[in-house]
Amino acid sequence: MFVLPGFLVYSVFFAGPTIAALVLSFTDWNGIAAELNFIGFSNYIELFTNDPIFYQSLTNNLKFTVSVLAFQTVLSLVFAIMLVKNTKANVFYRSIFFFPTVVASVSIAFTWNFMYDPNIGVINNTLSAIGLENLTQSWLGNPDIAIYSIAFIQFWMHTGQMLIIFVAGLHSIPKELYEAASIEGAGKWHTFRYVTWPLLAPSATIVVAYTTIQSFKAFDLIIATTNGGPSYATEILSLLLYHEAFNNFRFGYSSAISVIFMIIIAVITIVQFRILKSNDVKY
């Protein structure tokens, strides 16, 4: 009886929709028809053989995820080490870094849309004011950099969240180990490499896995900034399946994309957990 409420919530909001998506992926359902017309693996065949936008979306997803993962993980770890002591100033700065996480993504997207504006945006105006006019450009209108501009917003928004996880991990490391390293004459780098980082592996696993899933599933930030443009330069898989379902009314095809999407995230997450599993990391 204690398990039943959680099981019902899990079944209704996760297991049920997942099974439904798998079934719909073998149909050509348009979201309106009363009956399902099963077409076998036609959606998957089209997806892998005759849909260049799918491959572009996957590439954009990888660019976005790798960029966010690299910068967000490194910055959050650096800031965590800098702010690990529980002083009033450090607690204040942690709160400042964490604040963007609790703000709605759409609100942040609209704010950065204004900042990225090529004509009146604060970024281009600041560059012009300090004599760097040659660096000004259309940050969201240039297909070569648009996905990276949005990736910057993503890791700016969530670095504080990962910082808190690393701070908690740092606080769990016994001080005696640092004292022993100091007695042995270990410098800051060796202390970090042989004491801090190995014992931070569980926290790093959480940060890397969560950041990867979070980045792959990014949706509201991108749809509110570029809606996949320009010329599909920022179209990612979550946006593609939305457009196929609600713009083109191809719910069956969209379901096939969602199934592949789920498999990709699952594989990447499993690989990351195996690589970063604390008792498997070699130093």
User: For 154-210, what is each residue's pLDDT tens digit?
Assistant: 999 999 999 999 999 999 999 898 889 888 888 888 898 888 888 888 888 889 888
In the beta sheet, which residues pair with residue 27? Answer: 38
168 inside domain: yes
Is 33 contained in some domain? no
In a domain, 173, yes or no: yes
Tokens of 49: 């053989």
Average pLDDT, the chain: 91
Residues 18-51: tens digit of each pLDDT: 999 999 999 999 999 888 899 999 999 999 999 9
Residue 272 has a pLDDT of 79
In a domain, 120, yes or no: yes
ω into 143 cis (within 30 of 0): no
Distance from C-alpha of 244 to C-alpha of 254, rounded to nearest angstrom? 6
Kindly state whether residue 20 falls inside one of the protein's structural domains: no
Q: 146-171 vs 88-102: helix axis angle to the nearest 10?
A: 140
Half-sphere exposure of 215 (CA within 13 A, CB side): 34
pTM across the whole model: 0.89
* CA distance from start to end of the chain: 46
40 in a domain, yes or no?
no
In a domain, 113, yes or no: yes
Q: How many Cβ atoms sit within 10 Å of the Cβ of residue 52?
A: 8
What is the total count of domains within the chain?
A: 1
Residue 114: which CATH number? 1.10.3720.10
Q: What does the block give as tokens for 105?
A: 């993504």
Q: Are 170 and 90 in contact (CB under 8 A)?
A: no
- CA nearest to 61, candidates 157, 151, 159: 151
Residue 282 has pLDDT above 50, yes or no: no
The whole domain housing 212 covers 51-280
pLDDT at 277: 67
The percent of residues above 90 in pLDDT, for the chain, comes to: 72
With respect to residue 245, please indicate whether it lies within any of the assigned structural domains: yes
Q: If you average pLDDT over residues 135-147, what whole number do you get?
A: 94
**Interatomic CA distance for residues 193 and 187, integer angstroms:** 10
The answer to whether residue 118 scores a pLDDT higher than 80 is yes
Q: Look at residue 61 in the predicted model and tell me its pLDDT.
A: 94
The whole-number pLDDT of residue 169 equals: 93
Note the pLDDT tens digit of each residue in 56-95.
999 999 999 999 999 999 999 999 999 999 999 999 999 9
